Amino acid sequence: MKEKVVLAYSGGLDTSVAIRWIQEKYNADVVTVTVDVGQQEDLAKIESNSKVVGAIRHYSIDAKEEFVENYVHPAVKANALYEGKYPLSTALARPLIVNKLVEVARKEKATAVAHGSTGKGNDQVRFDVSIKVSAPELKIIAPIREWNLSRDEEIKYAEKNGIPIPVSLNRPYSVDQNLWGRSIEAGILEDPAQQPPEEIYEWTVAPEKAPTEPEYVSIGFENGVPVTVNGAKMSPLKIVQTLNAKAGSHGIGRIDHMEDRLVGIKSRECYECPAATVVLDAHKELEKTVLTRHELQFKQQVEAQWTFLVYAGLWMEPLREDLDEFIDKTQERVTGEVKLKLYKGSATVVSRSSPLSLYDANLATYNIETTFDQKWSEGFIEIWALPTKAASILKSKGVK
Ligand code: ARG
């Protein structure tokens, strides 16, 4: 019997060519898997494509709810923004896709799994590490990395082998989409000095063309995750979809930044992440209302470490789960409502409230009737200045 290889299949040119290449090079049968994480592709078309190219079986797995609940929600609680900008959309989906690949590989008694990542990006690391950790018995095949074909050579190979070439190919961009965001690379974007052309955006209108009237949206949180939009209870998936549409229609969520890939390459990255942008802004603001100064300060360090681990393909590292334990503990009090104003490309928090708010109007007010006695401050400042004063006195004596 032939060996079986389970391939993560997007339906694009790279993974289509990979089906045929694996069959030829490894004399193996190929089973394809497409995991729906909200990429909004035609799944029936993808399935028929995979059969046309020669896969013996295709699995289409709807993992949208699971993606939001088990991957996006932890990222929200961690305020995850890599290098302060990127909400980790692609990075979060990879370990989920690997879980599904491995499930299918075991069911099919396959000996290897395959993915279409190149040898220059983060995705190869995320796929390979997660596979090695969760299924060390499986071989890993990365045809695009191994084969090292140029785009033109790939197209020639596809034409020669009767592999359908997706119409999207006349667009020079490389796109990856899921519910938490859309990433656009290649073409003119590779020149970081050039403004991204309008045509790369699909989920957001140009801020100039956004409605001239602002729209307000309220997001209700319970234990650190969004549970309502404008007071209406919705499933986690529905909330993300609703906010992608709402914020996107106001031109919110466009991100353009210089990113440091794990493999040491700097790259210019463009994203559209409307829901992520508003949810993270609102979540951070609510945390600042309910957590103490010390919790907030310490949590920032935890967040940076969490975000780096996930970006760098280490979702399955125990430290990530250890950090989640801490984060989840803090989120027990992150309940309340945040209202944002959506207007021409920006989302601004205009209101926050929580039954667990630590804000005390009687302390904060500049009115004369306050519970804060200003005399307390004098002694406090005396002590606060002590160490700095001591150092300064030494310095004035010429001692370093
Ligand atoms: N730079 C982002 C990341 O590393 C986006 C990667 C997009 N991946 C892709 N195969 N197009 O997460």
Average pLDDT estimate for 301-305: 98
- 55/205 Cα distance (integer angstroms): 38
Name the more confident of 168 and 377: 377
Q: With a cut of 90, say whether residue 121 has pLDDT above it.
A: yes
* 169 confidence band (pLDDT: 50, 70, 90): low
Instruction: Determine whether 261 is an active site residue.
Output: no
Q: E strands, 49-120, where?
A: 57-62, 112-114
Name the more confident of 367 and 88: 88
Q: With a cut of 90, say whether residue 31 has pLDDT above it.
A: yes
Average pLDDT estimate for 123-129: 98
* 232 confidence band (pLDDT: 50, 70, 90): very high
In this structure, the residues whose C-beta lies within 6 A of any atom of ligand 1 are: 90-91, 122-123, 174, 176, 183, 185, 259, 269
Domains identified in the chain and CATH numbers: 4-174 (3.40.50.620), 178-353 (3.90.1260.10), 371-396 (no CATH)
Rounded to a whole number of angstroms, the CA Rg of the chain reads: 25
Instruction: Determine whether 260 is an active site residue.
Output: no
| Closest atom of ligand 1 to CA, residue 176 | 11
Query: What angle, rounded to 10 degrees, do the helices at 293-311 and 274-290 form?
Result: 150
Instruction: Determine whether 14 is an active site residue.
Output: yes
Instruction: Determine whether 57 is an active site residue.
Output: no
Give the distance from CA 359 to its chain's centroid.
Answer: 31
DSSP 302-313: HHHHHHHHHHTT
- Residue 122 C-alpha to ligand 1 middle, in angstroms? 7
Ligand 1: residue whose CA is nearest its atom 8 = 176
Which residue, 263, 98, 80, is CA-closest to 180? 80
Longest CA–CA span in the chain (Å) reads: 86
- 232/227 Cα distance (integer angstroms): 8
Which of 183, 269, 309 to mutate to test ligand 1, by most ligand atoms within 8 A of the CB atom?
Answer: 183
- Which burial class, exposed, middle or buried, applies to 200 when counting CB atoms under 10 A from its CB (0-12, 13-18, 19+)? buried
* Catalytic option among 174, 218, 346, 357: 174
**Beta-carbon count within 10 A of 51 CB:** 14
Ligand 1: residue whose CA is nearest its atom 1 = 269
The model's pLDDT over 171-223, given as tens digits with 9 standing for 90+, comes to 789 999 999 999 999 999 999 999 999 999 999 999 999 999 999 999 999 99
| Closest atom of ligand 1 to CA, residue 269 | 1
* 150 confidence band (pLDDT: 50, 70, 90): confident
Q: With a cut of 70, say whether residue 168 has pLDDT above it.
A: no
- Residue 183 C-alpha to ligand 1 middle, in angstroms? 6
The model's pLDDT over 15-26, given as tens digits with 9 standing for 90+, comes to 999 999 999 999
What was the pLDDT predicted at 39? Answer: 97
Which of 85, 120, 122 to mutate to test ligand 1, by most ligand atoms within 8 A of the CB atom?
Answer: 122
Ligand 1: residue whose CA is nearest its atom 11 = 176
In the three-class reduction of DSSP (H, G, I as helix; E, B as strand; rest coil), residue 352 is classed as strand
